[in-house]
């Protein structure tokens, strides 16, 4: 079992829809949770960054973390065609016996928002 | 400014060539990373530099040779690559590599094709 599970989709929705993207994880050591957006043939762009359980809102985007269930979500309201991209969840933890942290990525969910 | 720049954007090389990828950031970050990303896959960590010292090498073949000349620059020297090394090579940086909370910012990547 991978440490971070994410449904790769593809997910296709009409413009204006609410989009829900999710990841589950198994490692209780994960402390910080991120969502990256990656357009085709481009580098990942940081969208949201959360630490504690609960919700964090930024414009049309809401990130939700439930540490007790080991489940994170990203909601996109009023989705736009420009939101069409791959969304990667990522979580960070320190290596055992190390002071260095690293990111663990989900597979990414490919989203298409059609006009 | 959260910009990480990478050059070149595209690179085509033969298996006997020697080439270098370059990455630059001016955010005062002291940790820099190289990732490799294949199509429809998440980024895979290759190397981590912390305070200009190589801290993590994810058992990457020696045909990839990283270099960190100073805190703002990161190079990846390529020699005798194989066609299976064709991928998007991403550079990232974070304030430090010392904690799980450090957010990583990615560059746009160099798309490498090995013939």
Q: What is the pLDDT of residue B101?
A: 66
- CA-based nearest residue in chain A for residue B4: A43
Least confident of A88-97, B32-41, B74-83, B101-110: A88-97
- CA-based nearest residue in chain A for residue B31: A100
Q: How far B101 CA sits from the closest chain A CA (Å)?
A: 6
Q: How far B58 CA sits from the closest chain A CA (Å)?
A: 12
Label residue A81 by pLDDT band (50, 70, 90): very high
How far, in Å, CA of A87 to CA of A38, rounded? 6
Question: Within 10 Å of residue A69's Cβ, how many Cβ atoms?
Answer: 10
Q: What is the pLDDT of residue B72?
A: 95
- CA-based nearest residue in chain A for residue B36: A43
Chain B environment of A45 (Cβ under 8 Å):
106
How far, in Å, CA of B35 to CA of B91, rounded? 6
Calculate Rg over the CA atoms of chain A.
14
Mean per-residue pLDDT, B17-38: 95
Mean per-residue pLDDT, A31-48: 93
Mean per-residue pLDDT, A9-21: 96
pLDDT at A52 over 70: yes
pLDDT at B2 over 70: no
pLDDT at B104 over 70: yes
Q: What is the pLDDT of residue A8?
A: 86
Q: What is the DSSP letter of A100?
A: -
Label residue A1 by pLDDT band (50, 70, 90): low
Question: Exposed, middle or buried: residue A97 (CB in 10 Å: 0-12, 13-18, 19+)?
Answer: exposed
Q: Do A34 and B103 touch (CB under 8 A)?
A: yes
Look at residues A6, A17, A1 and name the one whose alpha carbon lies nearest to residue A108. Answer: A6
pLDDT at B77 over 80: yes
């Amino acid at each position: 079992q991978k440490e971070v599970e994410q449904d790769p989709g593809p997910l296709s929705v009409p413009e204006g829809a609410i989009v829900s993207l999710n990841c589950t994880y198994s490692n209780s050591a994960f402390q910080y949770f991120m969502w990256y957006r990656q357009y085709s043939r481009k580098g990942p762009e940081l969208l949201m960054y959360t630490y504690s359980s609960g919700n964090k809102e930024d414009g049309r985007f809401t990130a939700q973390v439930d540490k007790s269930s080991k489940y994170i979500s990203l909601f996109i309201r009023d989705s736009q065609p420009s939101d069409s991209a791959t969304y990667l969840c990522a979580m960070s933890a320190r290596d055992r016996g190390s002071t260095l942290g690293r990111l663990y990525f989900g597979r990414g969910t490919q989203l298409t928002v059609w006009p | 400014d959260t910009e990480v720049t990478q050059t070149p954007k595209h690179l085509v090389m033969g298996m006997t060539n020697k080439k270098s990828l370059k990455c630059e950031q001016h955010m005062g970050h002291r940790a820099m990373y190289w990732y490799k990303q294949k199509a429809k896959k998440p980024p895979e960590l290759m190397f981590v530099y912390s305070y200009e010292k190589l801290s993590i090498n994810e058992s990457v073949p020696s045909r990839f040779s990283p270099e960190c000349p100073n805190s703002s620059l990161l190079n990846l020297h390529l020699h005798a690559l194989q066609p299976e090394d064709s991928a998007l090579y991403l550079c990232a940086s974070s304030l430090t590599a010392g904690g799980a909370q450090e957010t990583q910012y990615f560059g746009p990547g160099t798309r490498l094709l090995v013939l």
